[in-house]
Amino acid sequence: MIKRLLSAIGGGVIDMFARIGLVTRSFGGLLAKSPGALRRPSLISEQIHFIGNYSLLIITVSGLFVGMVLALQGYYTLSQFGADEKLGQLVALSLLRELGPVVTALLFAGRAGTSLTAEIGLMKAGEQLTAMEMMAVNPIQRVLAPRFWAGLIAMPVLATVFSAIGVIGGYLVGVQLIGVDAGAFWSQMQGNIDVRRDILNGVLKSFVFGVAVTFTALFQGYEAQPTPEGVSRATTRTVVIASLMVLGLDFVMTALMFNK
Amino acid sequence: MSNLVEIRDLHFSYGDRPILSNLSMDFPRGKLIAVMGGSGSGKTTVLRLIGGQIRPQRGAVTVNGENVHQLDTEGLYRLRRKMGMLFQFGALFTDLTVFENVAFPLREHTDLPEELLRDLVLMRLNAVGLRNAAQLKPSEISGGMARRVALARAIALDPRLIMYDEPFAGLDPISMGVTANLIRNLNDTLGSTSILVSHDVNETFSIADYVYFLSQGKIVAAGTPEEMRRSSDPYVKQFVNAEPDGPVPFHYPGKSLAEDLGLGGKR
């Protein structure tokens, strides 16, 4: 009984370290093959179009609604203290520091991440990656690395779009609908947002999320069982793992960036 | 050296399950050699070992005098540029057109001007009869056509060795005949060496120069197609004549029916 328990624990620990080793090696392999991919910018721009442009609609619409809800909820609380002119600052800070990068990353994982996993998984199932290897073309360099860099570039841009549209949503609800003074809305925002502390830290967050989500999606696709069921499981894992990573990383980075 | 590919004392297993044991085969230059056998006999594994996709536990595979499994990644990729492989279902890149699929190896490995590349691709497509399908996507063509496009892609770089993994699987009789003729003609025209893995007896025998029969990872018979047709080997006879029972039993091994029904019978 005890022997079996110890054996199960030992097996689990070995599996965990093997998994960590595999993930680390895959990430290292991806970085090692990146220079080759970066020498062919057309492959990356094609992927930016695919994973960035196609995510734009969901990011824009979500950003608008998140900004509108922020303004409604923010006004409700701020007005209780007679501080409703601070609404612009609240909306902008919430979006730039947290909601922009985090919600964009979660939406990106659901929209582009699943698409990447399914694409790579189906390429594997259809022997396309093996065919590429047999043509002396490294699939990590030709397929994975351009998508990885495209994700890294697309994510901060999408998060910026999300935040910008969110601010517009906040303005529409706060100023146009509720009647907060437009001058106060914009001037409080302008006066209390710091470029390095708020905007650049937000961009840095979204860049890190871009690495986490895109790598997770590509890794899950590349390691997927080459069957319909395997690809389906890998796609689900992408959403679950990437989302949890984004939320965990957000906590760590927020603690590091915004502690006083 | 007359053999382009040589396999010596090859042993390969997945975990404890042996797939190939003490396998030795020769693939002479310019010839079309078929490797036949039932499902799970290890045919495709032979191709994967020759292509360096998997490593054997023992033994050696040499292609053009180079031991495939002693090469580093760069060396292996250099060797693979002289190989072409046709996968069972074509393995075409579904996001690219027929033209771009055939152009893929040329774009990756050469710096040819666009006009010359276009001419080369169209010539390859013409050789398989699909020049006018150049702008179609893989989803718009039939399985037989996809196999021919994959063939055009496999020969894009004028390989010395072309490997075919079940090229006739799932094809209608016309497509099967067309594919078989193409394989033979391309082998002769390009002066390459071909390894054909198949379990389709008639088409394979009509084009192969020599046939190896594999069963449970071992060669059970080898010879010309004519010799195989006359073979008295029970496995070859069962395979060639498509007999339902013989050395490959109809019933999955296990308990007898009488035992299962509780009648006390023995196997």
DSSP A54-76: GGHHHHHHHHHHHHHHHHHHHHH
φ, ψ for residue A46, nearest 5 deg: -60, -40
φ, ψ for residue B178, nearest 5 deg: -60, -45
Q: Does B68 touch chain A (CB under 8 A)?
A: no
pLDDT digits (tens, 9 = 90+) for B222-237: 999 999 888 888 888 8
pLDDT at B218: 87
Q: Does A15 touch chain B (CB under 8 A)?
A: no
Kindly list the residues from chain B whose CB atom is less than 8 angstroms away from the CB atom of residue A122.
94
Distance between A226 CA and the closest CA of chain B, angstroms: 13
Q: How confident is the model at residue B17 (pLDDT cuts 50, 70, 90)?
A: confident
Contact state of A135 with B104 under an 8 Å Cβ cutoff: yes
Q: What is the mean pLDDT of chain B?
A: 89
B108 vs A122, A126, A135: nearest CB:
A135
Distance between B88 CA and the closest CA of chain A, angstroms: 9
R_g of chain B, CA atoms, integer Å? 20
Cβ atoms < 10 Å from Cβ of A137: 20
B105 vs A123, A130, A135: nearest CB:
A135
pLDDT at B239: 83
Which residue, A37, A162, A39, is CA-closest to A96?
A162
Mean pLDDT by 10 residues, chain A (260 residues): 89 92 90 88 91 90 96 93 91 94 95 95 93 93 94 95 96 94 93 90 95 96 94 96 96 86
Nearest CA in chain B to A126: B91
pLDDT at B168: 87
Q: Which of B80, B86, B137, B163 to mutate to test the interface with A (most CBs of A within 10 A)?
A: B80
Q: Exposed, middle or buried, B63 (CB in 10 Å: 0-12/13-18/19+)?
A: buried
Tokens of A233: 């499981």
Nearest CA in chain B to A136: B77
> Could you give the CA distance from residue A229 to residue A226 in angstroms, rounded to a whole number?
8
The amino acid present at B205, given as its one-letter code, is: F
Kindly list the residues from chain B whose CB atom is less than 8 angstroms away from the CB atom of residue A123.
93
pLDDT at B37: 86
The amino acid present at A72, given as its one-letter code, is: L
Contact state of A142 with B94 under an 8 Å Cβ cutoff: no
pLDDT digits (tens, 9 = 90+) for B85-94: 999 888 999 9
> Could you give the CA distance from residue B22 to residue A1 in angstroms, rounded to a whole number?
42
* Interface predicted TM-score of the whole assembly (ipTM), two decimals: 0.83
DSSP B166-183: STTTT--HHHHHHHHHHH
Q: Is the pLDDT of residue B267 over 60?
A: no
Give the pLDDT mean for B121-133.
91
pTM: 0.85
Give the pLDDT mean for B139-160.
91
Contact state of B80 with A134 under an 8 Å Cβ cutoff: yes
Contact state of B78 with A138 under an 8 Å Cβ cutoff: no
A136 vs B87, B89, B109: nearest CB:
B109
- Name residue, tokens 């030795």: B24
Edge to edge, what strands does the sheet with B58-63 contain?
B17-28, B3-14, B58-63, B66-67
- Name residue, tokens 């449970």: B216
Alpha helices (H) in chain B, listed in sequence order: 43-50, 73-80, 98-109, 114-127, 143-154, 173-190, 201-207, 225-230, 234-240, 257-260
CB pairs under 8 A between A and B: 43
Contacts (Cβ under 8 Å, ≥6 apart) of A71: A87, A91, A169, A170, A171, A172, A173, A174, A178
Q: Which residue has the higher pLDDT, B47 or A259?
A: B47
Q: How confident is the model at residue B71 (pLDDT cuts 50, 70, 90)?
A: very high
Tokens of B187: 């082998």
Q: Which of residues 108-167 of B touch A (CB under 8 A)?
A: 108-109, 153
Specify whether the CB–CB gap between B167 and B196 falls below 8 A: yes
Q: Does B85 touch chain A (CB under 8 A)?
A: yes
Nearest CA in chain B to A129: B91
